[in-house]
């Protein structure tokens, strides 16, 4: 039996010292601009996703997020609108022009998710679902691979290697909080991971402070911190009415909170020599954060 | 939208106060006897799996374990013999009469794995692969659901609920070590989980000290501890030549070590009012452990 | 500046391959017999500690535990009876002949604690209180050094080295649960630590399932597991009326529960080739555990 | 027996909604300015501490840190210059005018440490050394209380309550990384803790990215992130020649690296509406960070 050996690690920074920029619908992820992905945890209706898409676009988001297939800890929780949700996401994209990221939970759904999504999300719970990684590795659609909730960075990079080895080199990494002993927040956002990943790999690294804290009021502060730590983007949950959200309402920003956070985030981006929102003509950098 | 609500939790001890006994090929899991599942991490050849099956049967094991589809952290590690491995497992069962447990990693493999396996294993990394849980929930083959490496017991029980809700009520739980800060062992075996799970649910609970420690020399002591804690069974990795194993060799017992461990385990089982090996006419309980 | 370098590690198994046996008032810790230390979390009154001492002695305990100086997370919790508590411990020892272990929290209390205690306890929160370790290292009284709640075994052994380097070689180690993400138990009892410590060091290793679980009903099962894992002793909280205990009542056994647990523990001890209670003429090993 | 009950929690935000500002030698901690505490892990010589004090002052630091009494995991590591080190710190203060923070490990050293220190540091390993907390609670010197490496925020606040209850209300909190499963960094810096603590308590909250990462190259990025998260200050290890440092050299910035980091930190401070260095006439905010 002959086993494959790695000629060189595909994720390794040395393989691409200048870093990888992933272009999706005119948005460059991993470049000068800090890219904000925003939207609801779950697509709940056409009205909801279209209204949210408009709100986050107005606020400066460049990518729309929204789950149609939802992995849920309890089988009795809302599992997502599935195919119908994918359709609503396509409508929201048509309305706003925002590229769409949505989760794929199962290789058997891949064809239909690929037909709708501009970026395929692999959720934390599937970070080591190796047959799924292999399948998205065969796609040409970029992949947003979230860190498993107790994955070391070494394991995380090997999960990305699983995808890249299939031929799909457009992988975006996302720190989303790890599981620790601290109970006051949903997870512990590990911002050490941002500079460490940027050093170890050439792939873009974004941060999800919504899952990383689980508390909407805390999201803007950790979003700013993530940018200061060197993140290439943010993944932010936004909902028109968080108290009625079908999942994760406690961590969703309202439209107004999102609109308020973005100039703060932009000020920090400017302070570290980057920009938010520039390419779409929104100047978020004029005001100083007053938080 | 109307969401399902749980009329009563299917896993709850209250649903079946007497406990669930799962019969597989004449072996009762969850009853008086402590059941030992043993075999290699991965099926490597016909000779290897047949020889191992004979050795572990002789030692008192009642179920043969062996992986054909192997989830591996690195894409460059041995991924298992796949279909060929399933065939070898079937041969080993035919040779020894031992029922077989083997992992299913992907719903698309389910049909062929079900054709070979007496028990379907869901690995730790897939404990929250909800579409896979749903699919095995539709099978009539019992499921060995391993605890995720950072899953709380509440999450673990909800994962079992995902399976049971599909109609498959024959779920075996397995504590296999959790991820902590301690680096001297591969995982931290959480034996608190055994009495806690036995109190919360009616499902059988077994323990995997091989993954729980990662160190072969430590396995017998933690196997005995697991029985003393109230485990209904053990999952033990055994290999004819651990130093040449294609995966996880450091944690595999040799045939001789397994043969030596079993009377020690049987003595502890007797001390807590249970038996190992009785039903197959092997009297493991005569000698006192001299470890 | 010339720094001390270790000629050889004092804790290392190689320094004393046969293991260390520590004799305290006729009780050998680290030998053939599994030694049970039992008593209340805190000394609350003369009546309480004397009655408890009698009850645990009758049950087979060989050492009386009880806190006079209590480290408490909140400054508003009961802090112990301090000097008065030490006096009550001395009375209980006089009544029963049981040697006493009690905690010393501060080097300034050392003289008076040494005057009363047969074994000095260093609590988990003080495992790296290095000046305190140095001071008890100058005493001739044996030291029960509890593992810090997030200490690695390497750090734990270095803490013991701090004590031994001062000249006090009679150190007893105690695994008492580590801090993890699992919320259903107070701590996660790490029984992997038992064989690992026994391999790395010659010092006796005992286990505290009371703190390791935080739940009285679970203590007997983990006590048995600890013995099966190879522990040289147990540290068990016992209280005449746990519901009215001034600290940690949820994890204390009643006198009856302690009396019931001991034959179960003795049966497991016998199964692994050891004894509980033999030296004091109590034959705990006749009945098989029926739990 | 009558136990004290809390009339109201002293640390609670509600007790002082406007927040606490602690003035030390003309430096206001917890106010508009982000205060940088910098200096070596350990005082090694007069020359070293004086040169470092000058360098960090020139860079914009407002408080000098340096350990004279060093808690060390191994008894064979450098334990600090002790009394001699305190003398050198006093010299460095006289030279530069910078107030000094240094650790007190033992109540018996308190008198001499108080005679030298402007702020008393309680290290992570002593966060629950309650008799020491009580003693510093009787002092009038402000206390820098570091978070224990596995302390929950609730436990941390209760440790501060121990100090305040003694009458010393001038407590500064410091997040310095927690212990997790991730091995690539020394600790996991928990920046969620910053907004959470600011919400729960009125006390100032600073961040130590040196211990929080353990890696000098990563410190500037996490220092910026801490400020963006809302920290009131930074604790930064600086050494003239980190490769020859007697402790923790891997995480110390050189003088040049510190000088380079400060304008980056100041730019982020400005972006979140605060200042670094303003009060001492150093305008660190003119240049945009180019990292």
User: How would DSSP label each residue in C182-232?
Assistant: --SSSSB-BTTHHHHHHHHBSS-EEE-HHHHH--GGGHHHHHHHHHHHT-S
Which single residue is written with the structure tokens 């941002």? Answer: A194
First to last CA, chain C: 62
- Contact residues for B58 (Cβ-Cβ < 8 A; gap 6+): B259
**Interface touch C183/A180, C-beta < 8 Å:** no
Helix (H, G, I), strand (E, B) or coil at C144: strand
pLDDT value at A277 more than 80: no
Q: Which of the other chains make 3 or more beta carbon contacts under 8 angstroms with chain B?
A: A, C, D
Write A87-93 long-range contacts (CB < 8 A, 24+): A87/A116, A88/A43, A88/A45, A88/A46, A88/A49, A88/A50, A89/A43, A89/A49, A89/A64, A89/A116, A89/A117, A90/A116, A91/A46, A91/A49, A91/A50, A92/A49, A92/A50, A92/A52, A92/A53, A92/A64, A92/A66, A93/A53, A93/A64, A93/A118
pLDDT score for D277: 76
A233, A37 in Cβ contact below 8 A? Answer: yes
Q: Which two tokens stand for residue A11?
A: 């994720």
The predicted-structure confidence for B142-171, as pLDDT tens digits, reads as follows: 999 999 999 999 999 999 999 999 999 999
Q: Does D181 touch chain B (CB under 8 A)?
A: yes
Q: Taking the CB of residue A127, how many other CB atoms lie within 10 A of it?
A: 24
pLDDT score for A189: 98
Nearest CA-CA distance, residue C150 and chain B, Å:
8
Q: Which residues of C touch A150 (CB under 8 A)?
A: 181
| Exposed/middle/buried for residue C76 (C-beta within 10 Å: 0-12, 13-18, 19+) | middle
Residue B290: band (very low, low, confident or very high) from pLDDT cuts 50, 70, 90: very low
Distance of CA A220 to the CA centre of its chain: 16
Q: Which residues of D touch C2 (CB under 8 A)?
A: none
| Bridge partners for B171 per DSSP | B143
pLDDT score for C86: 97
Of the listed ranges B225-234, C105-114, C229-238, D280-289, the one predicted with least confidence: D280-289
Q: Which two tokens stand for residue C105?
A: 């929290």
D63-65 vs B171-175, strand pairing mode: unpaired
pLDDT score for B279: 44
Helix (H, G, I), strand (E, B) or coil at C109: helix
Q: Which residues of B touch C153 (CB under 8 A)?
A: 182, 184
Comparing CB atoms, the residue among B222, B227, B273 nearest residue C191 is B222
Separate counts of helices (H) and strands (E) for chain A: 9, 10
pLDDT value at A206 more than 70: yes
Comparing CB atoms, the residue among A72, A77, A131 nearest residue B105 is A131
**Interface touch A131/B73, C-beta < 8 Å:** no
pLDDT value at B289 more than 50: no
**Interface touch A225/D221, C-beta < 8 Å:** no
Interface probe, candidates D12, D74, D124, chain C, greatest C C-beta count within 10 A: D74
Nearest CA-CA distance, residue A196 and chain D, Å:
8
First to last CA, chain A: 61
**Interface touch A289/D268, C-beta < 8 Å:** no
pLDDT score for D130: 96
Range A144-155 average pLDDT: 97
Distance of CA C44 to the CA centre of its chain: 19
Comparing CB atoms, the residue among A152, A182, A225 nearest residue D152 is A182
pLDDT value at D92 more than 50: yes
pLDDT value at A262 more than 90: yes
Residue C277: band (very low, low, confident or very high) from pLDDT cuts 50, 70, 90: confident
**Interface touch C291/B272, C-beta < 8 Å:** yes
Q: Which residues of D touch C160 (CB under 8 A)?
A: none
pLDDT score for A278: 53
Q: Which residues of C touch B183 (CB under 8 A)?
A: 152
Q: Which of the other chains make 3 or more beta carbon contacts under 8 angstroms with chain C?
A: A, B, D
B195, B230 in Cβ contact below 8 A? Answer: yes
| Bridge partners for B145 per DSSP | B122, B173
The predicted-structure confidence for B217-273, as pLDDT tens digits, reads as follows: 999 999 999 999 999 999 999 999 999 999 889 999 999 999 999 999 999 999 999
pLDDT score for D279: 44
Question: Distance (Å, rounded) from C-alpha B279 to C-alpha B206?
Answer: 18
Nearest CA-CA distance, residue C179 and chain B, Å:
8
Question: Distance (Å, rounded) from C-alpha D80 to C-alpha D35?
Answer: 26
Q: What percent of chain C clears pLDDT 90, i.e. is strictly above it?
A: 91
The predicted-structure confidence for A58-87, as pLDDT tens digits, reads as follows: 999 999 999 999 999 999 999 999 999 999
Half-sphere exposure of B238 (CA within 13 A, CB side): 34
Q: Taking the CB of residue B3, how many other CB atoms lie within 10 A of it?
A: 9
pLDDT value at C279 more than 90: no
Question: Distance (Å, rounded) from C-alpha A155 to C-alpha A147?
Answer: 9
The predicted-structure confidence for A168-182, as pLDDT tens digits, reads as follows: 999 999 999 999 999
pLDDT score for B277: 76
Mean pLDDT of chain C: 93
**Interface touch D182/A153, C-beta < 8 Å:** yes
pLDDT value at C29 more than 50: yes
Q: Does C182 touch chain A (CB under 8 A)?
A: no
State the complex-level ipTM.
0.94
A22-24 vs A27-29, strand pairing mode: antiparallel
Q: Which two tokens stand for residue C98?
A: 């049981």
Helix (H, G, I), strand (E, B) or coil at C35: strand
Q: Which two tokens stand for residue B238?
A: 């055994």
Interface probe, candidates B149, B181, B190, chain D, greatest D C-beta count within 10 A: B181
Question: Distance (Å, rounded) from C-alpha B59 to C-alpha B128?
Answer: 34
Q: Does B183 touch chain A (CB under 8 A)?
A: no
Separate counts of helices (H) and strands (E) for chain D: 9, 10
**Interface touch D74/C130, C-beta < 8 Å:** no
Question: Distance (Å, rounded) from C-alpha D54 to C-alpha D58?
Answer: 6
pLDDT score for B263: 97
Range D13-41 average pLDDT: 97
Closest residue on chain A to C179 (Cα): A181
- Contact residues for D141 (Cβ-Cβ < 8 A; gap 6+): D114, D117, D118, D119, D120, D168, D170
Q: What is the per-residue DSSP string for A235-273?
A: EEEB-S-GGG-SS-GGGPBPHHHHHHHHHHHHHHHHHTT
| Exposed/middle/buried for residue D127 (C-beta within 10 Å: 0-12, 13-18, 19+) | buried
pLDDT value at B3 more than 50: no
pLDDT value at A283 more than 70: no
Q: Which of the other chains make 3 or more beta carbon contacts under 8 angstroms with chain D?
A: A, B, C
Range D171-184 average pLDDT: 98
pLDDT value at B4 more than 50: no
Q: Does D183 touch chain B (CB under 8 A)?
A: yes
Nearest CA-CA distance, residue B175 and chain C, Å:
13
Mean pLDDT of chain B: 93
Range C77-101 average pLDDT: 97
Q: Which of the other chains make 3 or more beta carbon contacts under 8 angstroms with chain A?
A: B, C, D
Nearest CA-CA distance, residue C52 and chain B, Å:
26
pLDDT score for B170: 98
Q: Does D131 touch chain C (CB under 8 A)?
A: yes
Interface probe, candidates D149, D177, D181, D187, chain B, greatest B C-beta count within 10 A: D181
Closest residue on chain C to D6 (Cα): C76
DSSP secondary structure code for residue B18 in this structure: T
In degrees rounded to 5, what are phi and psi of residue D67?
-95, 130
Half-sphere exposure of C258 (CA within 13 A, CB side): 30
Q: Does A152 touch chain D (CB under 8 A)?
A: yes
Residue D215: band (very low, low, confident or very high) from pLDDT cuts 50, 70, 90: very high
- Closest residue by Cα to residue D28 from D17, D20, D40, D38: D20
Interface probe, candidates C1, C2, C73, chain D, greatest D C-beta count within 10 A: C73
Nearest CA-CA distance, residue A83 and chain D, Å:
36
- Closest residue by Cα to residue D276 from D81, D35, D100, D108: D35
pLDDT value at C290 more than 90: no
Range C234-253 average pLDDT: 95
Q: Which residues of B touch C150 (CB under 8 A)?
A: 181
**Interface touch B213/C224, C-beta < 8 Å:** no
pLDDT value at A251 more than 80: yes
pLDDT score for B6: 54
Mean pLDDT of chain D: 93
The predicted-structure confidence for A104-144, as pLDDT tens digits, reads as follows: 999 999 999 999 999 999 999 999 999 999 999 999 999 99
Interface probe, candidates D73, D79, D81, D160, chain C, greatest C C-beta count within 10 A: D73
Question: Distance (Å, rounded) from C-alpha A217 to C-alpha A222?
Answer: 10
pLDDT value at A2 more than 60: no
Task: Write the Ramachandran bin of D277: left for phi over 0, alpha for psi from -120 to 50, otherwise beta.
Answer: left
| Bridge partners for A237 per DSSP | A39
pLDDT value at B135 more than 80: yes
Nearest CA-CA distance, residue C220 and chain D, Å:
28
């Amino acid at each position: 039996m002959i086993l494959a050996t790695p000629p060189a690690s595909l994720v390794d920074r040395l393989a691409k010292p200048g870093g990888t920029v992933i272009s999706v619908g005119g948005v460059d992820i991993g470049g000068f601009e800090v890219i904000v992905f925003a939207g609801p945890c779950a697509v709940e209706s056409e009205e909801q996703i279209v209204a949210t898409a408009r709100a986050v676009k107005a606020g400066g988001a460049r990518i729309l997020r929204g789950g149609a297939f939802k992995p849920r800890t309890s089988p009795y929780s809302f599992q997502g609108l599935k195919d119908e949700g994918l359709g609503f996401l396509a409508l929201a994209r048509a309305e706003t022009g925002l590229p769409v990221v949505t989760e794929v939970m199962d290789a058997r759904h891949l064809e239909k998710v690929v037909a709708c999504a501009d970026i395929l999300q692999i959720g934390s719970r599937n970070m080591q679902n190796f047959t799924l990684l292999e399948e998205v590795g065969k796609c040409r659609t970029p992949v947003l691979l979230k860190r498993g909730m107790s994955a070391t960075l070494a394991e995380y990079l090997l999960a990305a290697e699983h995808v890249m080895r299939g031929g799909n080199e457009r992988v975006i990494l996302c720190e989303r909080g790890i599981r620790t002993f601290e109970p006051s927040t949903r997870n512990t956002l590990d911002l050490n991971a941002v500079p460490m990943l940027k050093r170890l790999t050439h792939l873009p690294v974004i941060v999800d402070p919504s899952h990383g804290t689980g508390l909407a009021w805390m999201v803007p502060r950790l979003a700013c911190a993530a940018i200061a730590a060197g993140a290439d983007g943010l993944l932010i949950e936004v909902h028109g009415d968080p108290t009625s959200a079908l999942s994760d309402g406690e961590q969703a920003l309202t439209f107004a909170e999102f609109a308020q956070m973005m100039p703060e985030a932009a000020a920090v981006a400017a302070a570290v020599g980057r920009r938010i929102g520039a390419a779409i003509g929104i100047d978020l950098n004029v005001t100083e954060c007053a938080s």
